[in-house]
Structure 1
Amino acid sequence: MDTELLRTFLEVKATRHFGRAADNLFITQAAVSARIKQLESYFGAPLFHRDRNNIQLTPEGERLVPHAESILVSLLRARQDFALREGGDLRLSVGIRQGLWCDTLQSCFDQLHDEIGDLKLHVETLSQEMIAKKLREGALDTALVFDTPAAPELESHRVGALHLRLFAHHSIKNLAEAVSTRYIYLQWGTAFSRFHVRQVAKEPFPYLQTNMVDAAIAQVKRQQGACFFPQALQSTLHEQGICRVPEAPEFDTPLNLLVHPYMRTSPVVHRLKHQLSNLSL
């Protein structure tokens, strides 16, 4: 049986709502309904009473809950056994939210390697949706994010802050010039989008929208444009003739390290949290 069916069943049980379960799992409501129907067909019994605003477990659904939880916990423990030590080497897989990777983070991971000599790290940059999916599946041990997924089973530890500042080609002198020329909109999540509408431009018509920081930097340089970048990139940007726009609105948001429950007591994760503490990007 596909474990995603059981995961979806437990999400509906927790939220009592097909729509909220779909949001938390980053799938459509139709997909949630189809998965539940597949489970009900497999067990030959209804699992939920589907009143419009009051989704409740049936007696059969209640009986399935401990079995579903046990299966998923067993799989996670197996994942932990393989993740923590395989072939005598410590292993850790870390997801980094797109746009965050920089020299500052590289230094943190270099120091982690110095502290734990036999550590084997797997680090990849991913979208928020993929991070949430891989964490739930146990394909990631931890992840550094700024838009925390709605996933109560994941532990979240604040480790620092992301500071987004408006940068532009050195010929641009103020906010009005920045948003009226070849403006680049980097996708920094829902909270940034709200901030942008309120304080930057109510109806932005950017020259380019992207989630790729390197592409945005190249376009700002080539097209003499403007874009919001992490403050940690200021030195790198300045070398390319890209400078802070004075008196422009500023966006700050917490950086959080998400940890899968099976890594809760891992000494490697403890050291990672220590390395990332007071992180400023």
Structure 2
Amino acid sequence: MDINLARTFLMVAETGSFIEAAVKLNITQSTVSARIKGLEDLLGCSLFHRSKSGADLTAAGEQFRKHALALVRVWQRAQLEVSLVDQHSDHLAVGASQGLWQGFLLKWVARLRATNSDIAVSAFSAASPVLTQRLIEGTLDLAVMYRPIQPPGHVVEHLFDEEFVLVTSGKAPPGKREPGEYVLVDWGPDFQQDHAAAYPELTNPGLRLDLGSVGLDYLLATEASAYFPARIVKPYVTRGRLHQPKRARRFVYPVYMVYPEARDEETYELIIQGLRRAAARLG
């Protein structure tokens, strides 16, 4: 299938309009219409409900969207790896939950590149369901995440246990309620569920940040309290920049790496062993 058909389908689905899709893709509206018609002919079904107000996905269109994304990503990976072949012996595509990059995976990538500069690395941040889908479709070689659902044909290996602790940039005496604004940082569905059970009065605070560890910048700029991985905030607590209430609830989630069962043992063993050592250093 022409990859442009998938790209055009995704743009129409995103914009909800054949006209806007044509503008964004810098092609004519008739070309967009012809591509969608050709794709529908290939699949044997309608992908969009067309009306004067725009174009909405049919049930078949909703189902095809994930496959179109996979097709485009596989093609992009193929282009990248072909372009790298003259400069690098191998290419590693690794993805992880956002909070795992700071203070852990970026350091691991730096060590990997320092000792194996012939391995090109592409890094991605996404939620666990997206990472799992990309492992299945083959556009990720390795993923690191909290409590994964095991994809078929992949190994799930425990790396370490991540502890989330409450920290505050305010000046409350030890053992008392932290001062300043409470910020709910979104660390995924498991954390949201556990947090709601532990702090029902804080499920709808004035500020919610779906920014992972980047949200720490907010605490460093203003008096506020929030939950963060202990390994990330430890240096700030040690220097007295942040404070950790002693009686606050802690949340612990296991972290796993996921990689294919069928793999190049020589290349993967080097990568996996390095990741195991990086996890061991956290202890």
The residue identity in structure 2 corresponding to 1:273 is I
Preserved CA contact (<8 Å) 2:176 2:245: no
Query: How far apart are the structure 2 equivalents of 1:191 and 1:120?
Result: 33
Matches within 5 A, 1:60-75: none
Preserved CA contact (<8 Å) 2:170 2:225: no
What does the per-residue CA deviation read over 1:6-59, in whole Å, with 9 as the maximum and x for residues that have no partner? xxxxxxxxxxxxxxxxxxxxxxxxxxxxxxxx99958xxxxxxxxxxxxxxxxx
Preserved CA contact (<8 Å) 2:169 2:242: yes
Preserved CA contact (<8 Å) 1:147 1:189: no
What does the per-residue CA deviation read over 1:250-273, in whole Å, with 9 as the maximum and x for residues that have no partner? 1111111111345x3443332222
Aligned residue number for residue 155 of structure 1:
155
Q: 1:205 to 1:181 in 2, by over 3 A?
A: farther
Aligned residue number for residue 23 of structure 2:
none
Kindly state the Cα deviation for residue 228 of structure 1 after the two structures are TM-superposed: 0.7
Matches within 5 A, 1:191-210: 191-210=190-209
Q: 1:247 to 1:169 in 2, by over 3 A?
A: same
Aligned residue number for residue 25 of structure 1:
none
Kindly state the Cα deviation for residue 244 of structure 1 after the two structures are TM-superposed: 1.6
Query: How far apart are the structure 2 equivalents of 1:203 and 1:110?
Result: 38
Q: 1:174 to 1:186 in 2, by over 3 A?
A: farther
Aligned residue number for residue 166 of structure 2:
166
Query: TM-score, normalised on structure 1?
Result: 0.62
Matches within 5 A, 1:54-65: none
Structure 2: state its 5+ residue gaps: 4-40, 46-70
Preserved CA contact (<8 Å) 2:165 2:250: yes
Kindly state the Cα deviation for residue 166 of structure 1 after the two structures are TM-superposed: 0.8
Q: Are residues 1:189 and 2:177 paired? A: no
Query: How far apart are the structure 1 equivalents of 2:270 and 2:177?
Result: 45
Give the superposed CA RMSD.
3.5
Number of positions where the alignment pairs a residue of Structure 1 with one of Structure 2: 212
Aligned residue number for residue 138 of structure 2:
138
Structure 1: state its 5+ residue gaps: 4-37, 43-71
Query: How far apart are the structure 1 equivalents of 2:175 and 2:42?
Result: 55
Query: How far apart are the structure 2 equivalents of 1:181 and 1:143?
Result: 36
Identity of aligned residues (%): 17
Preserved CA contact (<8 Å) 1:146 1:256: yes
